[in-house]
Amino acid sequence: MKEKIRIASGQGFWGDLIEAPFWQVTSGQVDYLVMDYLAEVTMSILQKQKNKDPKLGYARDIPPLMRRILPICSEKGIKVITNGGGVNPRGCAEAIAEVANSLGISGLKIAVIEGDNINNRLDELIAAGAYLENMETGEPIDSVKDKLLSANVYFGAFPIVEALQKGADIVITGRTTDTGLTLAPMIYEFGWDKEDFDKMAVGTVAGHILECGAQATGGNFLGDWESIPNMEKPGFPIAEAYPNGEVVITKHESLGGAVTIDTVSEQLLYEIGDPTDYITPDCVADFTSIQLKDEGNNRVRMSGVKGKSYTPFYKVSCSYEYGYSSVATLTYSWPQALKKGKAADAILRKRLENLGCTFDEFRTEFVGYNACHGAAAKEVNEDEINEIMVRFAVRGNDYASVERFGKEIAPLILTGPPAVTGFAGGRPKPSSVVAYWPALIRKELVTPTVLVLEV
Amino acid sequence: MKVKLIEIAHGRSGDKGDAANVGIIAYDDKGYEIIKKELTVKRVKEYFEGVCLGEVVRYELPNLRALNFILHNTLGGGGTVSLKLDAQGKTLAAALLRMEIEI
């Protein structure tokens, strides 16, 4: 057994710093590179891409990234684990195999984890007793079933562990929990028992710290953000894990950013609910048990993590069509910038009403005044406002109304309050809105499969 | 003496469906005692009146000297549906750090 392993985060979402995974594998020693590409909305976008071209449906950044890092990973023995397979992990693996072939790399094992995509099995699963009611509202799935775009189960760490046991150098999954990507190599390398819930919680918490990339190493840091050095080239977090269940969160020394108790604590608090009840397919972790110790030199040691048994359910993430939306902005300058913005808003609403347009929601925000903090923003003296960007946004099921909204913005420049600018890029077009439907499904109804391609 | 919360604490916020989570972390033990006393559910609910349209729930993490607030019905329907500029509530921790508290 290895005395420790170093797991490097390479991406916090699809659209994150393209250079980051390259820096992670070239700036110091690591054993694993883990990359989270999937936000809730991403699966529906990928499903639409796959509907147009059956070869697509995965994070298309992956093949060009692999072209850069595969030779390095092969030479150094770094394994890559990512959920960027989206709704087509096999297609993603085949694209990576092509890259490996063209680079002359052979003997590479690429594992594909499937079975999470249940969009085509819904009737069968419902008949088998999966109700899939909305976890937040309790509504039955029937109300959106005809409008569903995607439906995926969140698998945990164990399908990835199986892939590693089968010798995989690269593991491509569909919908897998972000935390499972980091927990899996710890289970595989240290032989942790799946019923040892404290250990499962250790890897889960480490995964939570790594899953948003540089948000654990000084990015988006609300503490003394100006003290964070060299953010033009930030080190993404690295979890240095030990068989006894201790983990040191660190980063490559030569890269920027910082790892302190403050930066790690902010990430621990990100998007959590009840801290004693952090539920994953692998365990339920207790964030109030985490002990952090700053060892200096950008090393924070985590110990004492407690966990409880997993639940009988997987979480299911469905997406469905939810009408159309459109957003447009205009900017008003001093004098009376805010008052003019509000007047323009009143004119626009009246014109759309006179045209018979209907919306489910019409939201106007005043950027520079209250767009971020809404009613919690401080009142300001009108004369001190230099300029205001008015952000108009509408959403509804009537495409024609949403489209007409987009045609009523530019006219405000010549037919509304003065000292207005900032309308560019043509009439905004309606975008399709995709809503998210969270549900639960009993674990025995879905089975992950692991397939290994050999190059 | 009154100070802004940002002088004794930092934090991070994000989305959980239509709810926002706002984590507030005190810089030291004394600060943690202050935020536990000052940041009651009632005060946070009043502070976000007109922003948070649902219930406020508070959780304590003494090990991190932190409080985690869940602000229900806050994000205009949640991530993909919301028309808000800050659809994910990412600036709400900063909003709360502007609150004046007694030390």
CA distance B1 to B21: 28
Tens-place pLDDT, residues A136-157: 889 999 999 999 999 999 999 9
Residues making up chain B, counted from first to last: 103
Nearest-neighbour CA in chain B from A266: distance (Å) = 6
User: In 3-state terms, what secondary structure has residue A184?
Assistant: helix
Mutation to test the B interface, candidates A137, A211, A269, A305, most B Cβ within 10 Å: A269
**Residues A403-436, buried b or exposed e (16+ Cβ, 10 A)?**
bbbbebbbebeeebbeebeebeeeebebeebbbb
Q: Measure the CA angle with vertex B80, ends B78 and B83; round to 5°.
A: 75
CA distance A87 to A437: 17
Tens-place pLDDT, residues A383-441: 999 999 999 999 999 999 999 999 999 999 999 999 999 987 789 999 999 999 999 99
Name the closest residue on chain B to residue A390, using Cα atoms.
B85
**Contact by Cβ (8 Å): A148, A122:** yes
Cis peptide before A335 (omega within 30 of 0): yes
Closest CA to A412 of A336, A352, A365: A352
Name the closest residue on chain A to residue B88, using Cα atoms.
A271
Closest CA to A271 of A194, A216, A326, A190: A216
Tens-place pLDDT, residues A260-271: 999 999 999 999
User: In 3-state terms, what secondary structure has residue A30?
Assistant: coil
Mutation to test the A interface, candidates B44, B58, B81, B100, most A Cβ within 10 Å: B81
**Contact by Cβ (8 Å): A57, A50:** yes
The answer for residues whose C-beta is within 8 angstroms of residue A230's C-beta and 6 or more apart is: A255, A256, A257
Q: How confident is the model at residue B78 (pLDDT cuts 50, 70, 90)?
A: confident
Cβ neighbour number for residue A224 with a 10 Å cutoff: 13
Nearest-neighbour CA in chain A from B36: distance (Å) = 15
Residue A43 pLDDT > 90 = no
Q: How confident is the model at residue A48 (pLDDT cuts 50, 70, 90)?
A: confident
| Mean pLDDT taken over chain B | 96
Asked if B12 lies within 8 A of A272 by C-beta distance, the reply is no
Nearest-neighbour CA in chain B from A303: distance (Å) = 11
Asked if A436 lies within 8 A of B80 by C-beta distance, the reply is yes
A322-436 classified as CATH 3.30.1380: no
Asked if A375 lies within 8 A of B16 by C-beta distance, the reply is no
Facing residue for B12 by CB, picked from A270, A319, A363: A270
Cα–Cα separations (whole angstroms), residue A379 to A263, A385, B48, B96, B97: 32, 11, 14, 16, 17
Residues of A in contact with B48 (CB under 8 A): 375-376
Asked if A377 lies within 8 A of B49 by C-beta distance, the reply is no
Mutation to test the B interface, candidates A222, A270, A321, A359, most B Cβ within 10 Å: A222
Residue A180 pLDDT > 80 = yes
**Contact by Cβ (8 Å): A278, A287:** yes
* Assembly ipTM: 0.98
Residue A41 pLDDT > 80 = no
Tens-place pLDDT, residues B7-41: 999 999 999 989 999 999 999 999 999 999 999 99
Q: Where are the domains of chain A?
A: 5-116+154-311, 322-436
Nearest-neighbour CA in chain A from B22: distance (Å) = 8
